[in-house]
Structure 1
Amino acid sequence: MSDRHDTTTLRIAVAQLNPTVGDVTGNLAKAREARADAARQGADLLLLTELFISGYPPEDLVLKPAFLKACRRAVEALAQDTADGGPGVIIGFPRQDETGRYNAVAVLDGGAIQAVRDKVDLPNYGEFDEKRVFDQGAMPGPVNFRGIRLGIPICEDIWGDLGVCETLAESGAEILLSPNGSPYYRGKVDVRHQMALKQVIETGLPLLYANQLGGQDELVFDGASFAINADKSLAFQMSQFEEAVSVTTWKKNGRNGTGTQDGDGEGWRCIDGPMSLIPEREEADYRACLLGFRDYVNKNSFRNVVLGLSGGIDSALCAAIAVDALGEERVRCVMLPYRYTSQDSLTDAAACAKALGCHYDIVPIEDPVRGFMTALSEMFEGTEEGITEENLQSRTRGTILMAISNKFGSMVVTTGNKSEMSVGYATLYGDMNGGFNPIKDLYKMQVYALSRWRNANVPAGALGPSGEVIPVNIIDKAPSAELRPNQTDQDSLPPYPALDDILECLVELEMGTEEIVARGHDVATVHRIEHLLYIAEYKRRQSAPGVKITKKNFGRDRRYPITNRFRDR
């Protein structure tokens, strides 16, 4: 291990980067690039995030011995790099030995792996199921890095109740460095700050929280790495939704150190680091959708995307997110009009595509729908027209979009919001067709809020234009599927503010129907929405993945049975 004479100053480079699950070679290259950056900035130590070399979460990939061996080889190669006397490295990787398979970190310095620590507290709730693939690590002690004792609790080790941080403090750790893979949901940064503060109070040690960045399937890792000093003050705050390698300076106070400004207390204190503003509410949600969508498309190597632009709010917001994520030249919007499509919708869709600058086509569906009707006319003779015929319009659109996808290699963007997906107000193999849905976890009123926000703002890193990109008429008019004359969503559903509140109570909060009625909702409506929520489970099980924004998204978080006769009444 490298000689170190000054044990009163430590410069830690925090790497908030965007690894790709399974891309061991690419992730190693990212780690090396970050280490070179850290060296240029004079860092002693580079801190990377949880399971960085494999990408997080690797899920069942870690059951593959060849994958684990590739990860190990990459960590060993990075360890050899540290023989140059530059920064040491802390990096997360999945490791296997004769005792089990672990979510681990390696401490690299002086050309070798100097120490390994395993995650103790394996989360098994919500989007996490680590107990499925990892074994519980032993309670860790601190790692000696160049004369400084570092405690390295891995993610859930600071969130759970197993006392990992207290054990590290009791066994002599001087600083807690926590590599994390913590996904976004609205308000999560404050939750992390409170959790870290709790550990700082309990241990009396400063805590550095390094978080992964980037989209991985439904999850978005938002970065926003930070540290809290032992005096409970926020020491630094890195940006949210942006890659960065930031060097932070730590000083040791007390007998052998420089002393503190107020003259009290021994131990380490972060005296220098970035202090970024964290976006709030609509901006944060929009940027999460943007990052999750961009990474899904790019990491899965889609050249471009196509979506049906109906003239409604959902597809307009999806188009804006797509252009912001990928650039106008990679987005194709298609209007698929039928006899019930209003002139307003035709005008609004064209205006939206023009404002965004993306490719726009019109493909009428009158002939293919008539073809389906003709083919089924004998079988359907004597029956009344209704939902079946409406769904045929939606399925025709879905088929055409999939044909465009096949022909040009474009991923179909699906555009249903959480309110619709909750109650089954969507057509299997129709408007549910597609590869990914950027607004899947946004309720309808949130869709409106994000649309208004985007018209007034351009998010950092967006490739789309400024100004009004979603025509105001789309935001102001009554929403409609336009599958029959004079149809509006509110013919079939309660007003969206009421619907969204009922759904949030049922889905996010798991409230009983009596509690929901007590909030001022009609009892019959609450019972009907609960029924619709349960019977739409089979549809949701077949829906495209989409960005997680709320505490409880469909799929990873909320896993209800399809066959289910329970009703709360």
Structure 2
Amino acid sequence: MKIVLAQQNYHIGNFESNTQKIIDGINEAKRQKADLVVFSELCICGYPPRDFVEFNDFINKCYEAIDRIKEHADTIGVLVGSPARNPTIEGKDLFNAAFLLYDKQVKGEVHKTLLPTYDIFDEYRYFEPAYEWKVLEFKGKRLAVTICEDIWNLGDNPLYRSAPMDKLMEQNPDLMINLSASPFDYIHEEERQSIIKANVLKYKLPMFYCNATGSQTEIVFDGASLIFDKNGKLCKALPLFDEAIDGVILNEDGTTNCETPSDIKPISQYKPNPTELDYERNISFIHRALVFGIRDYFTKMNFKQAILGSSGGIDSAVTLALACEALGKDNVRAILMPSPYSTSHSVDDAVNLSKKLQNPYDIIRIDQVYESLLGTLKPVFNDLPFSIAEENLQSRTRGNLLMAIANKFNYILLNTSNKSELATGYGTLYGDMAGGLGVLGDCYKMQIYTLAKYINRNEEIIPDNIITKPPSAELRPDQKDIDSLPDYPVLDQVLYQYIERRQGPNEIKAKGFDAQLVDRIIKLVNTNEYKRNQFCPIIRISPKAFGVGRRMPIVGKYLS
């Protein structure tokens, strides 16, 4: 039996596009002489549909799409993911389901058992977990079909009574198939292959794992669909961050005739989950995810061009380089806005960067606007000494100018803030925190330096002076980031322990970090939640990003 995986990029709620894409995938699978083609989790509507599934019309359109698709499942079996109504109306009225289509009919339906409610996931809000488990019969084969999270419990998780595959094994299946929408992060990429292989070794069955690709606002799905034979041999790996349709012929004994893909490193070479932030970890994947996230967000939102403030600093430089790669150099406009406190080398560095990237840029000095605002505020400010108010006024002036140009020319403003700044509140609301998409908001400062070096791996794109000079907001004379924040190498490590690893202050201090410094950093994180709550969507590349995956009360007092 030949089984192929259709790794595709769907658009949430775009039923016409998704349906046609699936039909095209079926036709390609037929061309490859496949017996069965497998699509990803909730491919009919796109993942995650969130509150769209609360609309009855949305679910009706899912069923209408299935009716259209099944007409093409004539000589080939098709497995698709879609919400399914719960006919018993016990519990919630929907299941997260997989449908087997064949001979222009719905031949079977299975439901997801383990509904994740952590990080970015909130499936139990919408779906009822499966309460019965059955293999699907197809051309003499017994298919154990599961959906995403179902294979992540191997029966050793105390949160669950048993693994779904344990139930399905009672019916003597011939192979395992998993429809997934598993997002990218720089740790999960390695864990995923390991857990899939662990299922194969436990149940001694081949595994066909089909994952979605594409970016859905802040969440990036990387694809990387996999096929293992019953012995745990990796037989096929579909590409990362791209669409593909490919598969293997499964022999009667559960093996295939494929060689192990050469571009996949053995699981034994993977590092365990890091206890410290590793700046080099999967940096090439992070780079690809960010470029992919920008491009797909613009494509699906029908945006064409981007704008950003180019300061001559590392964050704006990396953002500009990524955006030019994602959207094309002619579609990214950089605005240089020097103030009375900007250094000449910052302007020169930003100009040199745009010349190397060949993107359009403008220089708009903000001195006059800034002085005019200070004059307007003088009766209110009186003769009070220079403070953060005057600093932030420069940032908000820049934000206003960027948004004015964006409105005039239909650009989308890319935000350049990094995770270290967002965590500690080192940013100005309605100023440098303005934007429609946060490109680097899930990258710590030192990761951004690593990204810059990766971007320069073949030639100098980002000028070396941008990488080597001390970071500064340049909002007052001789200002440096270190005047307000701890050294970034230390700051990032403490933030990583608190945010990604959810370590409390005593646990972090026990690692050797200065006690007062830990208390100060955690207080900064907790007291600036109100700022992050007003921030734009952030492309997620870590296991714990600000936004939908990290929900903290604004008025909370914990450790603050």
Question: Do 2:40 and 2:80's aligned partners in 1 also have CA atoms closer than 8 Å?
Answer: yes
Quote the residue 2:274 is aligned against. none
Quote the residue 2:8 is aligned against. 17
Quote the residue 1:324 is aligned against. 325
What do residues 64-93 of structure 1 show as CA deviations (whole Å, max 9, x unaligned)? 11111111101111001123x2x2210101
Residues 314/533 of structure 1: CA separation in 2 closer, same or farther (3 Å cut): same
* TM-aligned CA deviation for residue 276 of structure 1: 5.7
- Residue aligned with 2:72, SS: helix
Quote the residue 1:94 is aligned against. 83
Question: Do 2:210 and 2:225's aligned partners in 1 also have CA atoms closer than 8 Å?
Answer: yes
Provide the C-alpha distance between the structure 2 equivalents of 1:274 and 1:57, rounded to a whole number of angstroms. 32
Provide the C-alpha distance between the structure 1 equivalents of 2:328 and 2:227, rounded to a whole number of angstroms. 35
Quote the residue 1:74 is aligned against. 65
1:532 paired residue among 519, 524, 527: 524
What do residues 91-113 of structure 1 show as CA deviations (whole Å, max 9, x unaligned)? 10112243321111111111111
* TM-aligned CA deviation for residue 441 of structure 1: 0.4
Provide the C-alpha distance between the structure 2 equivalents of 1:542 and 1:502, rounded to a whole number of angstroms. 24
- Residue aligned with 1:75, SS: helix
> After the TM superposition, which parts of structure 1 deviate over 6 Å for at least 4 consecutive aligned residues?
none
Counterpart mapping for 1:158-197 below 5 A: 158-160=151-153, 161=160, 162-197=162-197
Question: Do 2:187 and 2:542's aligned partners in 1 also have CA atoms closer than 8 Å?
Answer: no
Provide the C-alpha distance between the structure 2 equivalents of 1:326 and 1:368, rounded to a whole number of angstroms. 31
Counterpart mapping for 1:15-414 below 5 A: 15-83=6-74, 85=75, 87-98=76-87, 99=89, 100-160=93-153, 161=160, 162-253=162-253, 268-272=254-258, 275=261, 277=263, 281-414=282-415
What do residues 408-452 of structure 1 show as CA deviations (whole Å, max 9, x unaligned)? 111000000000000000110000100001111000000000110
Give the partner amino acid of 1:378.
P
Quote the residue 1:441 is aligned against. 442
* TM-aligned CA deviation for residue 40 of structure 1: 1.2
* TM-aligned CA deviation for residue 13 of structure 1: 1.3
Quote the residue 2:494 is aligned against. 502
Question: Do 2:234 and 2:260's aligned partners in 1 also have CA atoms closer than 8 Å?
Answer: no
Provide the C-alpha distance between the structure 2 equivalents of 1:369 and 1:386, rounded to a whole number of angstroms. 14
Residues 278/432 of structure 1: CA separation in 2 closer, same or farther (3 Å cut): farther
* TM-aligned CA deviation for residue 274 of structure 1: 7.5
Residues 39/151 of structure 1: CA separation in 2 closer, same or farther (3 Å cut): same
- Residue aligned with 1:270, SS: coil
Quote the residue 2:278 is aligned against. none
* TM-aligned CA deviation for residue 228 of structure 1: 2.3
Question: Do 1:95 and 1:104's aligned partners in 2 also have CA atoms closer than 8 Å?
Answer: yes
Give the partner amino acid of 2:186.
R
Give the partner amino acid of 1:241.
F
What do residues 515-550 of structure 1 show as CA deviations (whole Å, max 9, x unaligned)? 322333222111111110001100001111111111
- Residue aligned with 1:374, SS: helix
Question: Do 2:236 and 2:247's aligned partners in 1 also have CA atoms closer than 8 Å?
Answer: no
Give the partner amino acid of 2:372.
G
- Residue aligned with 2:496, SS: helix
- Residue aligned with 2:146, SS: coil
- Residue aligned with 1:150, SS: strand
Give the partner amino acid of 1:282.
I
* TM-aligned CA deviation for residue 567 of structure 1: 1.5
Provide the C-alpha distance between the structure 2 equivalents of 1:79 and 1:293, rounded to a whole number of angstroms. 34
TM-score (norm. length: structure 2): 0.93
Q: CA RMSD in A?
A: 1.4
Structure 2, unaligned stretches of length 5 or more?
A: 154-159, 266-280
Question: Do 1:151 and 1:174's aligned partners in 2 also have CA atoms closer than 8 Å?
Answer: yes
Provide the C-alpha distance between the structure 1 equivalents of 2:508 and 2:202, rounded to a whole number of angstroms. 38
Give the partner amino acid of 1:421.
L
Residues 361/273 of structure 1: CA separation in 2 closer, same or farther (3 Å cut): farther
Q: Which moved more, 1:343-352 or 1:233-242?
A: 233-242
Quote the residue 2:453 is aligned against. 452
- Residue aligned with 2:456, SS: helix
Structure 1, unaligned stretches of length 5 or more?
A: 1-9, 254-267, 458-466
Residues 233/454 of structure 1: CA separation in 2 closer, same or farther (3 Å cut): same
- Residue aligned with 1:81, SS: coil
Provide the C-alpha distance between the structure 2 equivalents of 1:304 and 1:248, rounded to a whole number of angstroms. 41
Give the partner amino acid of 2:230.
A
Give the partner amino acid of 2:77.
G
Provide the C-alpha distance between the structure 2 equivalents of 1:118 and 1:297, rounded to a whole number of angstroms. 33
Quote the residue 1:3 is aligned against. none
- Residue aligned with 1:92, SS: strand
What do residues 287-331 of structure 1 show as CA deviations (whole Å, max 9, x unaligned)? 111111111111111111000010000001001110111111111
- Residue aligned with 2:342, SS: coil
What do residues 374-417 of structure 1 show as CA deviations (whole Å, max 9, x unaligned)? 11110110311110000000001001111111111110000000
Give the partner amino acid of 1:308.
G
* TM-aligned CA deviation for residue 278 of structure 1: 5.0
What do residues 130-180 of structure 1 show as CA deviations (whole Å, max 9, x unaligned)? 000111123321111122111111011111344211211211211100010
Provide the C-alpha distance between the structure 2 equivalents of 1:345 and 1:141, rounded to a whole number of angstroms. 64
Provide the C-alpha distance between the structure 2 equivalents of 1:319 and 1:273, rounded to a whole number of angstroms. 40
- Residue aligned with 1:421, SS: helix
Give the partner amino acid of 2:39.
L
Question: Do 1:248 and 1:273's aligned partners in 2 also have CA atoms closer than 8 Å?
Answer: no
TM-score (norm. length: structure 1): 0.92
Provide the C-alpha distance between the structure 2 equivalents of 1:278 and 1:59, rounded to a whole number of angstroms. 33
Q: How many residues align?
A: 534
- Residue aligned with 2:29, SS: helix
Provide the C-alpha distance between the structure 1 equivalents of 2:301 and 2:10, rounded to a whole number of angstroms. 13
Question: Do 2:422 and 2:532's aligned partners in 1 also have CA atoms closer than 8 Å?
Answer: yes
Q: Which moved more, 1:552-561 or 1:24-33?
A: 552-561
Give the partner amino acid of 1:179.
L
What do residues 497-529 of structure 1 show as CA deviations (whole Å, max 9, x unaligned)? 000011111111121223322333222111111
Residues 214/419 of structure 1: CA separation in 2 closer, same or farther (3 Å cut): same
Give the partner amino acid of 2:26.
R
* TM-aligned CA deviation for residue 273 of structure 1: 7.0
Provide the C-alpha distance between the structure 1 equivalents of 2:339 and 2:474, rounded to a whole number of angstroms. 9
Quote the residue 1:487 is aligned against. 479
Provide the C-alpha distance between the structure 2 equivalents of 1:556 and 1:273, rounded to a whole number of angstroms. 40
Residues 276/219 of structure 1: CA separation in 2 closer, same or farther (3 Å cut): farther
